[in-house]
């Protein structure tokens, strides 16, 4: 995506209350100067706009793909909405992109199994909100390969560009870099910490948060 589109997404996330500045204790136990909670994209209009950002990021990436896969649970609505946005994207000229998602528990009646939606085949893009530990990506890659299809990329909303582990033993790479290296596939993000930093540099309204984000990035960033 162009840097303007990426900044538009940062502003959109702020407007929806999905991105917040302050002091937040995150899953890792760290105190982060910003917080991104994609679960707060929780209305038809906001998810519709989010899906357009996902679709644009995927088209701009140049990744070749045949379908989308959304890991349960967050990925289910993301895959569904983004496939709709892709169907309406001018660059795809009316191409209809199938999608599938998994159940957390295998269904023991009807058609059974853990997969719902189109059969997994061809080049499959995994769509999620963020990558923290990479667990859902690993499970998704296993499901896709087991079906005889090929994982083509991971598509996420925000790349925090952050190293994992305790302060005295930080990992060499971010979770996103680890996923990309482990599976040999690109990770495409709508926006990243770079874009949040650009907003903080450009917009005086958020200037008070800049020093805290810069310090956090110096400590944990890649």
Active site residues: 107, 109
* Share of the chain residues as helix, strand and coil, in percent rounded to the nearest 5: 45, 25, 30
- Name the residue with tokens 């795809």: 92
Burial of 120 (0-12, 13-18, 19+ CB in 10 A): buried
- Name the residue with tokens 């596939």: 185
Six-digit token string for 169? 């033993």
Q: According to the 3-state scheme, what is the secondary structure of 89-139?
A: CHHHCCCCCCEEEEEEEEECCCCCEEEEECCCCCEEEEECCCCCCCHHHHH
Pick the closest to residue 11 from 210, 199, 211 (CA basis).
199
């Amino acid at each position: 995506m162009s840097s303007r589109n990426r900044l538009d997404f940062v502003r959109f996330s702020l407007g929806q209350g999905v991105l917040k500045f302050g002091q937040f204790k995150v899953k890792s136990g760290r105190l982060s100067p910003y917080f991104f909670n994609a679960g707060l994209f929780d209305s038809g209009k906001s998810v519709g706009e989010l899906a357009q950002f996902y679709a644009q990021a995927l088209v701009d990436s140049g990744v070749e793909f045949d379908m989308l896969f959304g890991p349960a649970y967050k990925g289910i609505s993301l895959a569904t909405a983004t496939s709709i946005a892709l169907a309406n994207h001018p660059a795809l000229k009316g191409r209809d992109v199938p999608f599938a998602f998994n159940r957390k528990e295998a269904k023991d009646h009807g058609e059974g199994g853990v997969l719902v939606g189109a059969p997994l085949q061809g080049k499959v893009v995994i769509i999620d909100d963020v990558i923290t530990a990479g667990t859902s990506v690993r499970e998704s890659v296993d499901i896709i390969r087991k079906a005889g299809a090929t994982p083509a990329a991971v598509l996420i909303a925000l790349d925090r560009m952050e190293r994992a582990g305790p302060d005295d033993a930080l990992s060499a790479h971010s979770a996103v870099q680890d996923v990309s290296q482990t599976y040999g596939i690109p990770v495409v993000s709508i926006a990243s910490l770079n874009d949040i930093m650009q907003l903080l540099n450009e917009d005086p309204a958020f200037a008070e948060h800049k020093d805290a984000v810069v310090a956090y990035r110096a400590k944990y960033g890649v």
